[in-house]
Structure 1
Amino acid sequence: MTAIALTTFRRPSWLSVPLAIGIAIVLFWLAVTVLAPLVSPYAPLDMVGRRLQAPSWSHWLGTDALGRDVFSRTLYGAQHSIPIAVIVVTLSVAIGAMLGAISGYAGGLLGASIMRLVDVTLSFPPMLLAMAVAASLGPGLENATVAMVIVWWPVYARLMRAQVLEIREREHVEAAIAAGASRTRILFKHILPLCWTPVLISATMDLGQVILLAASLSFIGLGATPPSPEWGSMISDGASQFYSWWVALGPGLAILTIVLGFNFIGDGLHDYFDPKSK
């Protein structure tokens, strides 16, 4: 019976291998984010062992310079990095998509002004601009979040504007105009519903990039402040302990896997929605 069930199982057409891998990785880290207090052997701030103790059965990833369990701190770090990425991308999509849609559909002086602001923001390297804004606001996850939103929203504004400019020339939009539909109805009913696929794909892949940027800001002291178990700050602590390689191993692997997971999901969604890739 089991053999028959296995032979008759068919992978859904929409579930590609990269997409399945990405979903599995992201679901794992989402579960860790919620269940960290239950699955972590120690509290993230407790000094539970000798300082810089090598990995062992009692401390799977060793301890840091203060004797805190690196494995437990890595699990708790997901509660900082993943929610920040979701907040940054959500706010960036909301702001960027709204301004991009206005610029693409309204045009004129308003649309040109929005795009000049976008061009100015995108002219700076993202990391450099995020560092400048975070440094002016001061260290802390809240200020780092604001800095990353300022860096990221222009990406979605430009993407949404391009979609609106392309879709508003289609026949169904011209038919709605001829039928006397209002500009607001045309934008929200006939244009915007067709614009979200590229934005969704981009947002999914950007989640991993935002986690990487947040970790970078924390690494240089402009993000999470000690003793917060944030992945970037943990790697920064490990960088000063050259011979204690395990201090940075856990958070480094966490960032690597979650970024790969979101990239796999983005690639899988792109392959599913893009007819040219099939």
Structure 2
Amino acid sequence: MAETEDAAFTGLSSASEAVARDAALVAASTADSLSIDTSFAPRRAAEGKNQDGKPAKGSSAPAANASLSVAILDTPVAVPALEKRVFDSWEEFHAYLQAYSRSTFQIYSVRSATPSARRNELMARKRPSETQLLIPPQFAHYVKTLACTHGGKPRRRGTGLRPNHHHRAIQCPAQLNACVKRDGSVWQVHVTNQHAWHNHEVSEELYRSYPVVRNALDDDVLATVNILRKAEANRKKILEYIIENTSQSPKMKDVHNLLSKMKREEQEKGVV
């Protein structure tokens, strides 16, 4: 039944290119099978290779700063595939993905998401009497694509006067696709595709260098930091407190950004 619904929805591509693109990803997989891609296609432009495919001398693609310096590798780095692929909600899916990412030292982010309302609108237009084909409201999105933090192409900004500025995006192919499907009378989130390899190093050391990981602090730690901020404790003392009381390894600039954020939020709330 799920295959019939997806096929009908795909036929509405002229009404929405974005939805059709995501539907094509879903149609490529069945509800009871997971596609795991571990092949490796060379990406010459991202890898700094010449037209003949040979690596250019000294070619590498560091990330946005020195602590995230990531070079593109000629040999792909495979990662474990997801062991679970069907979830009762998007919240359950994201919680599982977070645990999976933490244990395998990967960072994923949502690159595109198709709202269920858009899919339902097109479906209702095609089959107005078949309301059972509409995705329940508890599923805010129909399809999501999640990619590695190093995915995508580098974007040029400004006039190009900063030749030594590095980009995090190096076209890493690691990616996940998930969509909402109905199995009988039950709607669930299904992982339909996984590219289980990266074109760069994957390690605990690199993982812990990402700002999103360095700055992941518990609520009680954040509360204490805020108390120290209000007491006008210096940043060095606050940094020492975080390092001594957590497993994180923030930098001084992270403390500066955190304190600035706390002050800004305080001002927005009108707290003196």
TM-score, length-scaled by structure 1: 0.25
Q: Quick check: which one's helix share is greater? A: 1
Q: Quick check: which one's strand share is greater? A: 2
Greater length-normalized contact order (CA 8 Å, ≥ 6 residues apart):
1
